[in-house]
Amino acid sequence: MSVTFDRYPYVAYSTGLTSLFPIWSREGGASGLVRNVDNPSLSQRIRDEVAAKIELIGGWDNVQVASVSREQDRAVEGKRIGQFAASLGVDPYDYTVELLRRNGNVGMVGFAMSEDNLDRIFAHRLAMVCSDGGAFAIDGPTRRGSPHPRGIGTFARIIGRYVRERQALSLEDAVRKMTSAPADRCKLPGRGRLVQDAFADVVVFDPRTYSDRATFEDPFQYAVGVRAVVVNGKLALDADVRHEEGNGRGLRPAT
């Protein structure tokens, strides 16, 4: 079998807050979960299973709220539930249930992974780099909530942290795992290489300074060390000046 895999360069994942609750309790979505939590015959069992999950990931301070729907709850975005609940003088489990009761779906970031594992993963010959996150910007309509910084910092972080700092892989291998390897795997001919007659998708960066700045506390920060970006042969970014032509296009795998 032809098998590859990809990974993003962070020790935290992003999902919905309901993922802390057992699968069986989530039938019917967020509203069904709240009904089950309110059921006296199920409530203690659910609380116990959530407590076991929280212990597994290292405590409530390893759970950060990424997004809520109600304006009245915006203050918790970007905050760790353990610390935030303590500041309110309430139990973190009870606060989580009430947050879901008021908002329905709530985005979360969970800190539960290993840097050493990431080193081994990125060094593997079959590994590729992905962001596994949605795209957003530091301004405009896509700036909302407190999203996982992978949507804005992934590829710079590979160079800055896993090539320069941790030396988990070489610069050349890192570039391959972000360009030609995924382009080949996704069957995108003419992409991922600097060769004659290919589409000119180019990032010009300084390998000594290229680094991510986006953090979990402040994700809306672009990387540093980028000199220029060319998309389909036209400048999209030049010396920190963004061009507005919008020369990108949707891609489909070759058959």
CA dist 160 and 178 (Å) reads 14
Rg of the chain taking only CA atoms, in angstroms: 21
Burial of 249 (0-12, 13-18, 19+ CB in 10 A): exposed
102, 94 Cβ separation under 8 angstroms: no
pLDDT tens, residue by residue, 91-108: 999 999 999 999 988 999
Greatest alpha-carbon pair distance for the chain in Å reads 68
Q: Which distant-in-sequence residues (6+ apart) come within 8 Å of 165 by Cβ?
A: none
Bridge partners (DSSP) of residue 109 are: 14, 64
Q: How far apart are CA 103 and CA 148, in angstroms?
A: 19
| pLDDT, tens digit only, all 255 positions of the chain | 999 999 999 999 999 999 999 999 998 888 899 999 999 999 999 999 999 999 999 999 999 999 999 999 999 999 999 999 999 999 999 999 999 999 988 999 999 999 999 999 999 999 999 999 888 899 999 998 889 999 999 999 999 999 999 999 999 999 999 999 999 999 999 999 999 999 999 999 999 999 999 999 899 999 999 999 999 999 999 988 888 888 999 999 998
Domain ranges of the chain: 12-111, 115-242
Instruction: Give buried/exposed letters for 114-129 (b at 16+ CB in 10 A, else e).
Output: eeeebeebbeeeebbb
Tell me the pLDDT tens digit for each residue of 9-52.
999 999 999 999 999 999 888 889 999 999 999 999 999 999 99
Q: What angle do CA 77, 80, 84 make, to 5 degrees?
A: 85
